[in-house]
Homo-oligomer: A and B are copies of this chain.
Amino acid sequence: MNIFLVGEAATHAEKLASRLTCGAAIVPLPREAAHAADHDGRIGPHDVVVSLRFSRPPGATPAFRLLHVPGAGLDGIDMSSVPPGATVCNVFEHEIPIAEYVTLAMLEWQIRLRDLAARFTPRSWSDLYRSRPPHAELYGKTLLLIGLGRIGRAIATRARAFGMRVLAVDGYAQPPAGLVDRVFAPHELGEALPAAEFVVICCPLTEDTRGMFHAGTLARMRRDAVLINVSRAEIARERDLYEALRDKVIAGAILDVWYRYPKGADDDVEPASLPFLDLPNVIATPHTSAWTVDLPWRRYGLIAANIDRLARGEALSNVVRPPGR
């Protein structure tokens, strides 16, 4: 059995090798092998392809056993190109760093550790100690999760440990007992919003969620509320969100996702058409909430475990499309 790592996946060959026990050969392929058939002569019916992207022209699909996507999203995979006998698996694990980022964002909003540190000098100490302005707590505050999938649940688990009240808006979720205080249906968003000091967007971007946060919904939020977006920028209408922040309709935002992304190595765009980064009540980060050293190690560890299962003839985990569709 050979394991072909395509494009970016090839940079993680050592991680996969360090966790793999079955002894299969690991073969890097260039980025182009995701969409072009030039290397297909090397891929055999017992082999594994690890790639974020995969497509082939009709009828040009090579036979292989497993396409393992090294991420959660399947938007790079053309399922009709995957051979009928192959299994497709994905991996998650990004809910862990995203939940850590969101908890940090809420804590930093309340405590302002870095502002405290910036004001603290040997000369300012005595006066600062005497006049210490108190900060805020998470304890007892209300968190509203827009979306209660893997990411929402990971955030809820942590928020619970801080004594927060946790609400969610989700049309499908059946959360484990005790994880959230109440799940609202999507049409009840307007009822849920006024309750929360923190509103976290952690649902997928769909035609239902695009523009879900507009002037009307933003006005339903508390004036001291903070919006945190770790999903996709377009779930909040750009101009409406900017104006709500500028005009203090809501207290602030912590934004990790943006309206414009560079498309290639030379593309130079701004993250939004409006100056969000100039607003003093916005903490902005460059789409890094899930971007950790640990994440690819965890993901390639799971991929190695799945390939070892395949080698032993055991059932695979994280199957998104079984063979013989």
In the complex, the answer to whether A104 meets B108 with C-beta atoms within 8 Å is yes
In the complex, the answer to whether B163 meets A161 with C-beta atoms within 8 Å is no
Q: Decide: A294 near B136, CB < 8 A? Known: A104-B104, A107-B103.
A: yes
In the complex, the answer to whether A100 meets B96 with C-beta atoms within 8 Å is no
Q: A80 at interface (Cβ–Cβ under 8 A)? A: no
Q: A275 at interface (Cβ–Cβ under 8 A)? A: yes
Which of A33-41, A200-208, A283-291, A313-321 contacts its partner? A283-291
| Tally of this chain's copies | 2
Which of A45-53, A69-77, A242-250, A259-267 contacts its partner? A259-267
User: Please, how many angstroms separate the alpha-carbon atoms of A291 and B269 in the complex?
Assistant: 43
Instruction: Kindly list chain B residues whose C-beta atoms are within 8 Å of the C-beta of A100.
Output: 107, 110-111, 137-139, 162
Q: A312 at interface (Cβ–Cβ under 8 A)? A: no
A193 to chain B, nearest CB (A): 23
Query: Per a CB cutoff under 8 Å, which of B125, B161, B291 touches A132?
Result: B291
Query: Per a CB cutoff under 8 Å, which of B108, B123, B136, B285 touches A293?
Result: B136
- The 9 A-B pairs with the shortest beta carbon distances in the complex, nearest first, are A161-B161, A104-B107, A126-B262, A122-B270, A114-B114, A116-B285, A128-B286, A137-B294, A125-B271
Identify the A interface with B (CB < 8 A): 96-97, 100-101, 103-105, 107-108, 110-111, 113-114, 116-117, 119-126, 128-130, 132, 134-140, 157-158, 160-163, 258, 261-262, 265, 267-271, 275, 277, 283-288, 291-295
